[in-house]
Amino acid sequence: MSAIPRENREYAAPKLLDRALDTSWLNLELVAFGLLVLLSIIVHLWALGHMAMHHDESVTSWTSWRYYTGASGFNCAGGRVAPSYCYDPVYHGPAYYVLSLFSFFLFGDGEAQARLPEALAGILLTISAWMLRPYFGRSGTLIAGALLTFAPTLLYFTRFSRHDALILLWAFWMVIGVFRYIDSARPRYLYLFAAATALAMATHELYYILFFLFGSFLLIRVASERLPRRQLLIGLAVALAVGLVLMIMNPPITAQLRGGGIGLLFSVVLGMALLMLRVWPDEPRFSDRIAALWNAERYVLWTALGILVALFVLLFSNFFTDVRGVLDGLYQGLAYWLGSQHEYARGKQPWYYYLMLLPVYEPVALLGSLGAASLLFAWGRERLAALLWMIVGALVIYGAGLFGGLGMLISLALIGLVVYLFVSGWWRGPIAAPARATVAGPSDADALDDEPAGADDADEAAEPAVPPQPAPLFPLFLAFWFVGALVAFSWAGEKMPWLVTHIALPGNLLAAWAIGRMIDALDWRALPGRLAGLIPAALVLALVAVSVALWRIGSAGEGQAGQAAMLQAIVPLLIAGLLIFGLLSIGQQVGGRATRIICALTLFGLLAAYSVRASWMVVYDHPDTPVELLVYVQSPPDVPLIVGELRTLAINLTRNRRTPEDPTGGHTMPVIMDAGDENSEGSLAWPYQWYLRDFQRIESRKADVFQNATADSFLVPVDRNQPDGEKEFAPVVMVYVPHITDATRTALEENYVKRYDSKLNWYFPEGDLSGCDPRQAGYKRFYYNSSTIAQAKADTQCQNLDVATLPYEPFYAPLLWPFRPENFNTVKDYLLYRQLPDPLQVYGREMQVWVRKDLVASSAEVGATSNAGAVKLVAEQVIGSPGSGDGQLSDPRGIAVDAQGNLYVADTGNQRIEVFDAQGVPKFAVGSLGSGAGQFNEPRGLAVDAQGNIYVADTWNARVVKLDSTGKFLKSWGTGNDIGNGRSAMMTDGSEAGNNAAPLGFYGPRGVAVDAQGTIYVADTGNKRVVATDSEGTYLYQWGHAGNEPGAFNEPIGIAVDAQGDVYVADTWNGRVQVFGRDSSGKVVATPKATWRVPGWQPNTYDDPYIAASSDGQVFVSIPNRDQVLYATVTGEQLLRWGGKGNDFASLTLPSGVAVGSDGMVYVVDRGNNRVMHFKLPASGR
C-alpha cells in the first residue's frame, strides 16, 4: 500500500467545536469590564424577590399578570373597556406590560419575575457603558460602568417593578444612538435611536420631558451651526428675557397649569445655550450629518422611521388587537399629564426634594456633575468658575453660622480674596483647557489628555496663555441633560423618589467623564510614588480632623459647656490646618495640578465607598423599611409572611379539592378582605390583590359592613356556585384597623383569633404632611417660605393655621440646613446609620388578619398557651459534640432516659443509637446504615421499658426495632415497600379504611412510647395515625386518620405516656397537642380528652418536634423553629418556656427530642448543635 503524497492529501476543515480559541483580542480592559458586567448581573438578580411589593409594583404586576393569563375587561384611555390589554396613561405605556408578560411566560409569575425586566434593564445599562468609550476613554468607561451598576438610586429602582428602569435604558440608548451616528455615520446607531425612541414612547409619558431636553439641545446645536452667531445670540437673549418675565409673572395657562415653572425651565435651557455657544466647537457636525442623511442616505432614514413606527404601532395596538390604542398613544398621555397629573402633585413634595435625595444617595453624581458642569460651561475660564464656587462657599459658611464669629471672618476673607483675584485679572489665565482637545466627536476622549504630571503652578504661570480649544461636545450635552433634568423634575407637580433616577443617570455619566478625565490626565508612572502616596492619607486625616471639629461644634450647648465644646474643636482644626499645610508642601514637589487631581480622586473614592454602603442598606438590608428617603411609601416585610401563611393554610384546608386549574388545592379557600369606603379609602386591595392573585374566592366587604358587623357578617357560601346554599365562616378575615369598632371586635372574637397586627403600608416620616407648619419637625417644614406666604394662605390644608404669624424661613433655608452646626449630629446619624431624629417615627396604615379558631396553627391568643417571653436557662451539663466518634453526635433526634439515669440518643446522622451513663460518659453505641438486624435507616424516636429494653422508631426501614439493655438486636416489626434511595414505606391514603387495611404498614414512623403495661405506641407519621402493639410486636389496635378534627392527625411525630397512662401526641402540622385517656378496659380512647395549641408548630415543616411527660403530670414539648422548649400543664397552660438560638450553654438551635428523668431533670436534644442539654428547672417552673 503506497502512501499518498502530502501535497495530494485533503484535509477536512475543522468543525466549530474543534477550532482553537483565539484570545489575542483579550486584554485587561476587557477583563475588567467583563467582571463589572458579572458584578452587575449579581447585584441586580440576587434576592430580587426579597422586598415586599410596593403599591405601584403590585398594581402594574397584577395588570401584567392578567394580561399574561388572558383575562378580559381592561380599562383603556378615554374610558373604553377592551377584552385584552390596552393603553391607559394612568398606568403608563405598553412596553412594560409586554416585557412582564414575556417574563411570566418564561419563568412563571412571582415577585422576582415581575422585577426581572427592570433588573435586565439595569444590567444592560452597565453593558451599554461600553459604547461611551469614544467619548470617555478607557478609564472613564470603566468608571461609568461602575457608577451605573452601584449607584444607589439606579440599583434600587432597577430592581423595582415600575417603568422607570426601562425608560432609563431607552433614554441612554437614544443619546448613544444620536451621538454615535453623528460621529460615525453608521446606520445601526440611527436604528438604535429609532428603536429606543419608540420604546420610550411606549413605556412612560416622561418621554415628553426627555424629548424637550434632547430636542432643545439638538435645535440649539443645529441653529448654532447654520445661523450667524450674532443673530443667534440676540434671538436667545430675547427668548431668555421672555422666559424670565414668564417665570416672574407666573400667569395661568390652563385651569391646572401656570406659566412660572415653564418660564423657569425655558430660562435655564436658554441660559445654558448661551453658555454653550461660547465653548463648544463650531464645526457643522450635526447639520452636515442630517443633510447627508436626507440627501444621500434617505433609505437609512426611512428604515429608521419604519422601525420607530412599527414598534409604536405594534405595542400600542397590542399586536393589532386594539387599533384605537395607536391614536391614544399619540396624545392621551400628554393630555392626561397636563390636564390633571402635573397639578395633582402626589405626595406634595417641596421644590428642593431632589436636592435632598441626591446628596444622600448620589454624592458622586451630584458633586461630580456640578464640578464638571462648572468646568464645561466655563471652559477656558476655569478660574472664573473657581471664584464662583468660592463665593458659594463664603455664603454657606456665613448663612449656616459655621464656626461662629470665626466663620464670619472666613466668609469675609473669601469674599475679599475673590474681589482681589477678579480685579487683578487672575481669573483670565493661564488657560487651563487642554492643549490637545479636539473638536471631532469620537476624539472627545482626547480631552482626557492634559499637561504632564509634575508641572507645578509656577511653571504653569510662566507659560503664555493660548486660545482655548473648544469644549468636548458630548460631556457638554451631559451637563445640559443633568441641569435640565434637575430643573424639569423639580418643577413637575409630582415628585416621587423613583424620578430621581432620571437626574442620577446623566449625573453619574458626567461624573464618570470627569473622574476618567482626571485619571487619564496624569502620567502616574512619572509621579514620585512616596510623596504622591502621602496625599490621600493627609487629606483623609484632615477630613477626619475637620469632622471631629464639626462634631464638637454641633454638640456645643449653652454656657460654659458650649464654650468648652467650641474650645475642644480648636485642636482638631489646628491639626487639619497642619495637614493642609503639609499637602501644600507636598504639592510644591509633586506638582500643584497633580496634587489637586489626587485630592479630588481621593474625595470621590470616599464618596464611592459611602455610596456602596448606601446601596447595601437600601437595596439589601432594609429595602422595604421607610427609614430610607427612597422609600416614600412601602408594603412592610410582614406582607409576604402573612401571604405565605395564608397559602399554607389554604393548601392544608382545601388540598382535597385539587383540579387541573388549581393543582395545589389551595386556591378555593374564601378570604374576606376589606374593600374600604365608597372612595376605596382603607382598601386592602394593594398589594394583596397581587399576592392573592391565584385565590378564586376573595370576598370583598365594604367598610360599613365591618363597622356594623355581627358574627354572621363573616359567613360565606360553602360552594361558591350556590350562593344561597350552605354557609360557613370564612377561614380568614383581613380588615383595615380604622374600620374596627367594638361591634366588629365582638363579632370577630366569637369565631376568630387575631393572627396578625400589621401594617398595610408605611411611610417615611416627612413631618407635617401639609407643609403648612414650619414649627413641625421633618423636611417639609420648608415647603412654604417667607416669599410664598400668599400661596400658603390659599392652601386649603393651611386654613386652620394663622399663616401670617408662622416663622417661615427664606427659600434657601433647606439648602443651608445640613450645614448648620446644630444639625451636624442629626446629619451624621442619618447618613451613617439611617437613624431618624426625634420626634420623627415611621408610621403607616394598620390592618389585622383574623383566622378562624379551628384553623390557627399557632397563635399567642389560642387556647391557654401564654405568649410570655422565653427565659434563658443555663444547662447543668452538655453531653456530646459534633462528629461520628464515641460520644459524638450527628443530627440527633429522639431521646429517652431510664430509671438509672442512663441516656439513650437516636444519633440519626450516624445511623445508630448511642447510650450514655448518668454522668454523660459514653457506654456503647449500636447500629449502622442498613436494613438488617442491628442496622437503621434514620432512627428517630426512642423509648425504654421497665426491663431496660430499647424500642427504636427505625423511620425509613418502616419498622420498630427492639434491643435489649446491652444493645443486642431482639426483633423488629412493621413492613414497607421500597420507595427508592434505600428507603421503605407503606403508604396508605391516611383514611380509616386505608389504615385498617395495613395495620403494621408504616410510613416514616418518627415516635415511639411504652406504657407501664408494656404496650408500645407508634406514631405512624405519614399515615396520620397511632398504632398500638404489645412488646413483641403483636398488633393490638390503632386510632386516628388524616384530618384536623379532634382525634385526626396531620404529621404526628412525638408521642409520650404519663404515669396515669394518658397518651400525648405531637400533632405537628395541626399545630397542637392531643391528649388521649383510656376506657375502663385500659384501651386508649380515640377522642382526645384535651387539645391545646403550640405556638411555633407549623404545617409543611420537617423539624421533628418531640414531647415528653413527667411523673407529676406535666408536659414538655420542643419547638424547633423557635429554638425553644415549652413546659406546660396537661391542659396546655404554660409554666415555663426557655431557649433561644445560639450555641452557648443557655441557647438551643432546632431542639428536637426531649425526655424527663425520675429526678425531674430535663434532657433536650439540641439538634442544630449536635449535643444533649441537661437542665434543672427553676423552682418557679415546677
Task: For residue 1119, give the nearest of 1170, 1155, 1071 by alpha carbon.
Answer: 1071
Longest CA–CA span in the chain (Å) reads: 117
Pair 743, 786 in one domain: no
149 pLDDT higher than 50:
yes
Pair 1116, 1005 in one domain: yes
**pLDDT value of residue 857:** 46
**pLDDT value of residue 434:** 43
Distance separating alpha carbons of residues 470 and 281, to the nearest angstrom = 5
Return all residues near 781 (Cβ < 8 A) that are at least 6 apart. 767, 768, 771, 773, 774, 775
Distance separating alpha carbons of residues 882 and 892, to the nearest angstrom = 10
Distance separating alpha carbons of residues 477 and 132, to the nearest angstrom = 13
Q: Which residue blocks in 960-1045 are alpha helix, DSSP H?
A: 992-997
Name beta bridge partners: 716.
Answer: 728
Distance separating alpha carbons of residues 728 and 718, to the nearest angstrom = 6
Mean pLDDT confidence for 486-494: 89
Percent of the chain whose predicted confidence (pLDDT) is above 90: 65
**pLDDT value of residue 923:** 95
The amino acid occupying position 637 is P
Predicted TM-score of the model (pTM): 0.74
pLDDT tens-digit readout, 528-544: 878 888 999 999 998 89
Q: Which residue blocks in 185-319 are alpha helix, DSSP H?
A: 187-201, 207-226, 229-249, 259-279, 285-295, 298-316
Is residue 246 classed exposed, middle or buried when 0-12, 13-18 and 19+ CB atoms within 10 A define those classes? buried
More confident residue, 1117 or 666: 1117
In a domain, 13, yes or no: no
881-882/888-889 β-pairing: parallel
Distance separating alpha carbons of residues 548 and 570, to the nearest angstrom = 10
**Lowest-confidence pick of 449-453, 497-501, 1154-1158:** 449-453
Name beta bridge partners: 915.
Answer: 904, 924
270 pLDDT higher than 60:
yes
Task: Give me the number of domains the chain comprises.
Answer: 4
Q: Reduce the secondary structure of 607-649 to three states and give it as a string.
A: HHHHHHHHHHHHHHHCCCCCCCCCCCEECCCHHHHHHHHHHHH
Pair 731, 789 in one domain: no
In a domain, 6, yes or no: no
Percent of the chain whose predicted confidence (pLDDT) is above 70: 91
**pLDDT value of residue 597:** 92
In a domain, 425, yes or no: no
Pair 907, 1051 in one domain: yes
In a domain, 952, yes or no: yes
For the record, the C-alpha cell of 874 comes out as 443555663
Pair 1153, 1117 in one domain: yes
In a domain, 817, yes or no: yes
| 443 phi/psi in degrees, rounded to 5 | -95, 15
Distance separating alpha carbons of residues 1158 and 1005, to the nearest angstrom = 27
392 pLDDT higher than 70:
yes
pLDDT tens-digit readout, 325-359: 999 999 888 887 766 555 556 778 999 999 999 99
Pair 956, 823 in one domain: no
In a domain, 1068, yes or no: yes
Pair 744, 886 in one domain: no
**pLDDT value of residue 195:** 98
Task: Tell me whether the omega of the peptide bond preceding residue 839 falls within 30 degrees of 0, making it cis.
Answer: yes
* Domain end call among 244, 264, 296: 296
Q: Reduce the secondary structure of 949-964 to three states and give it as a string.
A: CEEEEEHHHCEEEEEC
More confident residue, 195 or 678: 195
For residues 1040 and 1026, the answer to whether their CB atoms sit within 8 Å is yes
Task: For residue 566, give the nearest of 548, 576, 552 by alpha carbon.
Answer: 552
In a domain, 644, yes or no: yes
Pair 1001, 1114 in one domain: yes
- E strand or H helix at 164: helix 164-184
Distance separating alpha carbons of residues 759 and 684, to the nearest angstrom = 10
More confident residue, 123 or 633: 123
211 pLDDT higher than 80:
yes
Pair 704, 836 in one domain: no
In a domain, 7, yes or no: no
Q: What is the mean pLDDT of the chain?
A: 89
860 pLDDT higher than 60:
no
pLDDT tens-digit readout, 357-384: 999 999 999 999 999 999 999 998 888 8
Pair 832, 931 in one domain: no
Pair 1120, 999 in one domain: yes
For residues 479 and 373, the answer to whether their CB atoms sit within 8 Å is yes
Mean pLDDT confidence for 915-942: 95
pLDDT tens-digit readout, 790-804: 889 888 889 889 898
Distance separating alpha carbons of residues 771 and 808, to the nearest angstrom = 11
For residues 1148 and 1142, the answer to whether their CB atoms sit within 8 Å is yes
What region, left, alpha or beta, does residue 647 occupy, with left being phi > 0 and alpha being psi -120 to 50 degrees? alpha
**pLDDT value of residue 184:** 94
Pair 717, 789 in one domain: no
**pLDDT value of residue 656:** 58
pLDDT tens-digit readout, 577-622: 898 898 888 888 888 889 999 999 999 999 999 999 999 999 999 9
1016-1020/698-701 β-pairing: unpaired
pLDDT tier, 453 (very low <50, low <70, confident <90, very high otherwise): very low
808 pLDDT higher than 60:
yes
* Domain end call among 296, 325, 345: 296
**pLDDT value of residue 340:** 58
95 pLDDT higher than 70:
yes
Mean pLDDT confidence for 633-639: 92
| 675 phi/psi in degrees, rounded to 5 | -100, 5
For residues 1099 and 666, the answer to whether their CB atoms sit within 8 Å is no
Report the CATH number that the domain containing residue 1146 is assigned in CATH: 2.120.10.30
Domain range enclosing 270: 227-296
**pLDDT value of residue 461:** 41
623 pLDDT higher than 80:
yes
For residues 982 and 1009, the answer to whether their CB atoms sit within 8 Å is no
385 pLDDT higher than 80:
yes
**pLDDT value of residue 469:** 83
436 pLDDT higher than 70:
no
